[in-house]
Chains A and B, each alone.
Chain A
Amino acid sequence: MGLPLSYSIRNLGARRLTTLLTASGMALVVFVFTAILMMAEGLKKTLVETGSPDNVVVLRKGSASEVQSGVERIQASIIETQPEVAVGAGGQRLLAKEAVVLISLPKRENNKTVSNVVVRGIGESSLALRPQAKLIQGRTPRPGLPEIMAGQKIAERFQGGGMGETLRFGLRDWTVVGVFDAGNTGFSSEVWGDADQLMQAFRRPVYSTVIFKLHDPSQFSPFKQRIESDPRLNLEAKRENRYYAEQSEVMSKFLSILGLSLTVIFSFGAMLGAMITMYSAVANRTSEIGTLRALGFQRGNILRAFLYESLFLGMIGGLAGLFLASFMQLITISTMNFQTFSELAFSFTLTWGIAWKALAFSLGMGLVGGLLPSVQASRMNIVDSLRAQ
């Protein structure tokens, strides 16, 4: 028969201050671990949801982002006539020729902070191609008028981005006639207007990209091959979700290197903390262990009892850290994507996967921290330990 679980739990309760301090050290580590995973997840979610695998983005060959790309009008028309382009309910082609530029806008909080915002000149089918974007206020901008609609995150955080306000760029004032919500996607940090109006304002004779929906998603590879070998076109095609994933490669790599090194270093600290606590728990209870052994409990029972104690300690820390981290979901952070130089807002996202990982991580810390002390406890000599005071 083993020692009951309640023995391990009540031992933690016997020295509350020590338990509290050790668990809070672990909780902080778990908090950082979870927060970094949540940040990486939020970023991934934002960029993956931005694109759809059925949509194709056509860019100038070699350009790393939409802003750098340029597609001439004639090239765009050639793409438009390809048979792979899906046709909508009204008979129109589900294809949009878009112009994408960056402008710097001041944030609402103070005049000083300026951030780069993507302005997207859209075509008639642009909204149909992106079902994530839903109009929540006002209407869509009319072609031929200096009107724009702002993503929700722009409307909230940038001066002149709200409904009915005006933004000045390209020597014109643009009225915000609508606000759209595109959920967690990158589109929520963009401003959309009529492509022809914007191109004129910025004096850009070329589109940036052509985006269309495939009428049959499996037709992507033949289309890509044909376009890229066409001598008239100096273009390349990418699936939209793949395109947005590439946009965040540098950023997510940076976050994962930072996160990994932080977590490794921190968990060392917390494991040492757990080890200190467990060693002293063993040392304080030497005679108690001797008594237990004398009563007939086996070495394995003692080992298990102390390991459970350390695992419980880890679990308390893990749960507390997770609890703290769950509040991070309320926070949206905005930063510059190094690859596109444009503003990107994303929220901390907690998933069950992350919660399990965090708990497993904290149990792991408890296990590693408690292993050596528990082994020491189980290997004590009965007579010697009974003699200890």
Chain B
Amino acid sequence: MFILKLLFKNAFRRKLRTFLTLLSIAIAIMAFGLLRTVVSAWYSGVEASSASRLITRNAVSLIFPLPLAYKDRIRQVEGVTQVSYGNWFGGIYIDRKNFFPNIAVEPKTYLDLYPELILSPEQRQAFLRDRKGAVAGKALAEKFKWKVGDLIPLQGTIFPGNWEFVLRGIYRGRDENVDETQFFFHWDYLNETLRKTFPSRADRVGFYMIGVDHPNNSPIVVQVIDRTFKNSLAETLTETEKAFTLSFISMSEAIIVAIQIVSFVVIGIIVAVVANTMSMAARERTWEYAVLKTLGFGGWHIAGLLLGESLLITLVGCGLGMGLTFPAAYLFRKMVPLYLPVFQVEDETLFLGLLASLGVGVLASLAPAWRAIHVRIADGLRRVG
């Protein structure tokens, strides 16, 4: 108890300096928390994906479609319980800046396959009944202030023309990590229109979403599906939903790595700031340390005092920073709502922040502690100021 009191007194001897140090630790821990959250937001799609769903697409690349006829052949594969299909629509809402994912799907099977998208029974019925109907996520509807019944125009990029949809429902996610910024509508609407305008592009599907009876069967189902279409004009590539999402993320891995590196640079910056504060404190107290040594306290004892003080400062700063992380994450999310659909601070991030600040506390007291251990009593006593 006495030691703790001494540490407190020491730490707050220079109030302004300690206050500034605390502030900079808090800012750095907040920045660290934000950066880690950006990284985990990137991976949120992977977390949200189910192990019992597969995605089949054209083996050449995503832009090549598959024939609609594959649906029934996939359906016959043992272990497959549900087959849905869709096309990436890529429409623009008013301006290119308002990007959000919009996809044409076969509505009934899609909603069955994705039980995490929660839609009230009336809205579900209304959506299924209206071929021009569409459903949007809660975050998306809030962003553009859409209400059920609104007419939503999209300008086609992949499928030319101006398309109009009636918003029939607004879904919310069952779990925190479900993307609430999607917009989906009837695949039939797209297909019927294409039959009239671009007959050669009709009856083609961008990707199949497949439900498997048991996750353990996925590897076999994947093999069987891909073997079925081997050496055809449209060879398939089937992956679990997780692998599919990961392949997208791995393409922009460089940015994630950069963010991760930067989040460690932040820690480096606080090490420098705290170490500076500690070494200044130790320098000012050289004389006191000499007195303590004269009284019989060992060098390690003094080093312990310094370490304790340094840990005390970093931990208080860390607490403040974590407190700041939540409002900051909220603000950041408001600023860029549609870049990162899921943005929440994870427990792991907080834990890492705590770990990092413990490390900073120890690292920062090393140099001054070494000095304090090695100072000779006579030199310390002689020193002024």
Point out the residue from B24, B96, B276, B283 that lies within 8 Å of A64, measured CB to CB.
Answer: B96
- Name the residue of chain A whose CB is nearest to the CB of B364: A21
Question: C-beta contact mask, B273-311 vs A, less than 8 Å → 1, else 0?
Answer: 101110110011000000000000000000000000000
- Give A contacts to B, CB under 8 Å: 15, 17-18, 21-22, 24-25, 28-29, 31-32, 39, 60-64, 67-68, 101-104, 113-116, 169-171, 202-203, 205, 234, 249-250, 254, 257-258, 261-262, 265-266, 268-270, 272-273, 275-277, 279-280, 283-284, 333-336, 338, 341, 343, 389
Point out the residue from A17, A250, A272, A343 that lies within 8 Å of B367, measured CB to CB.
Answer: A17
B248 near A254: Cβ-Cβ < 8 Å: no
- Name the residue of chain B whose CB is nearest to the CB of A273: B273
Distance, CA A335 to CA B248, complexed state (A): 10
A–B complex contacts, Cβ < 8 Å, 19 sampled: A18-B279, A18-B280, A24-B272, A28-B265, A28-B268, A32-B262, A63-B157, A63-B160, A68-B158, A102-B62, A102-B63, A104-B62, A116-B61, A170-B60, A202-B60, A270-B273, A272-B21, A333-B254, A343-B251
A272 near B265: Cβ-Cβ < 8 Å: no
A269 near B60: Cβ-Cβ < 8 Å: no
Interface check B266, CB cutoff 8 A: yes
Given the known interface contacts A234-B160, A280-B280, the answer about A265 and B31 at a Cβ–Cβ threshold of 8 Å is: yes
Given the known interface contacts A22-B272, A25-B273, A265-B30, the answer about A60 and B160 at a Cβ–Cβ threshold of 8 Å is: yes
Interface check B150, CB cutoff 8 A: no
- Name the residue of chain B whose CB is nearest to the CB of A288: B385
17 extra A-B contacts, CB within 8 A, seeds A102-B63, A202-B64: A18-B276, A18-B280, A21-B276, A28-B272, A60-B160, A63-B160, A64-B92, A104-B62, A115-B251, A116-B251, A266-B269, A270-B269, A272-B24, A333-B258, A334-B254, A341-B62, A389-B385
Interface check B216, CB cutoff 8 A: no
Residues of chain A lying within 8 A (CB to CB) of residue B258? 39, 333
Distance, CA A116 to CA B250, complexed state (A): 11
A21 near B272: Cβ-Cβ < 8 Å: yes
List which B239-279 residues lie within 8 A (CB) of chain A. Answer: 247-248, 250-255, 258-259, 262, 265-266, 268-270, 272-273, 275-277, 279
A31 near B265: Cβ-Cβ < 8 Å: yes
Point out the residue from B34, B269, B280, B384 that lies within 8 Å of A29, measured CB to CB.
Answer: B269
A279 near B20: Cβ-Cβ < 8 Å: yes
- Give B contacts to A, CB under 8 Å: 14, 16-17, 20-21, 23-24, 27-28, 30-31, 34-35, 38, 60-64, 90, 92, 96, 99, 155-158, 160-161, 200, 231, 233, 247-248, 250-255, 258-259, 262, 265-266, 268-270, 272-273, 275-277, 279-280, 283-284, 332, 335-336, 339, 367, 384-385
B269 near A268: Cβ-Cβ < 8 Å: no
Point out the residue from B247, B252, B335 that lies within 8 Å of A335, measured CB to CB.
Answer: B252
B31 near A262: Cβ-Cβ < 8 Å: yes
CB-CB nearest 6 A-B residue pairs: A25-B272, A336-B251, A272-B24, A21-B276, A333-B254, A273-B273
Residues of chain A lying within 8 A (CB to CB) of residue B273? 21-22, 25, 269-270, 272-273, 276
A101 near B61: Cβ-Cβ < 8 Å: yes
Distance of A198 from chain B, by nearest CB (Å): 12
- Name the residue of chain A whose CB is nearest to the CB of B247: A114
- Name the residue of chain A whose CB is nearest to the CB of B231: A171
B156 near A169: Cβ-Cβ < 8 Å: no
- Name the residue of chain B whose CB is nearest to the CB of A275: B20
Distance of A346 from chain B, by nearest CB (Å): 10
Query: Which of A39, A114, A273, A275 is packed against the most chain B CB atoms within 10 Å?
Result: A273
- Name the residue of chain A whose CB is nearest to the CB of B268: A28
Point out the residue from B92, B160, B275, B384 that lies within 8 Å of A61, measured CB to CB.
Answer: B160
Distance, CA A129 to CA B279, complexed state (A): 63
- Name the residue of chain B whose CB is nearest to the CB of A265: B31
Query: Which of B61, B259, B277, B284 is packed against the most chain A CB atoms within 10 Å?
Result: B61
A257 near B336: Cβ-Cβ < 8 Å: yes
Distance, CA A22 to CA B34, complexed state (A): 24
Residues of chain A lying within 8 A (CB to CB) of residue B277? 276
A169 near B157: Cβ-Cβ < 8 Å: no
Distance of A73 from chain B, by nearest CB (Å): 13
Distance, CA A124 to CA B270, complexed state (A): 59
Distance, CA A205 to CA B273, complexed state (A): 64
Distance, CA A280 to CA B63, complexed state (A): 62
Distance, CA A15 to CA B276, complexed state (A): 11
A272 near B61: Cβ-Cβ < 8 Å: no
Distance, CA A284 to CA B17, complexed state (A): 13
Distance, CA A262 to CA B61, complexed state (A): 35
Residues of chain B lying within 8 A (CB to CB) of residue A21? 272-273, 275-276, 279
Residues of chain A lying within 8 A (CB to CB) of residue B61? 101-104, 116
Distance, CA A249 to CA B95, complexed state (A): 13
Distance of A140 from chain B, by nearest CB (Å): 24
Point out the residue from A103, A272, A275 that lies within 8 Å of B60, measured CB to CB.
Answer: A103
Distance of B239 from chain A, by nearest CB (Å): 10
Given the known interface contacts A21-B279, A234-B160, the answer about A272 and B27 at a Cβ–Cβ threshold of 8 Å is: yes
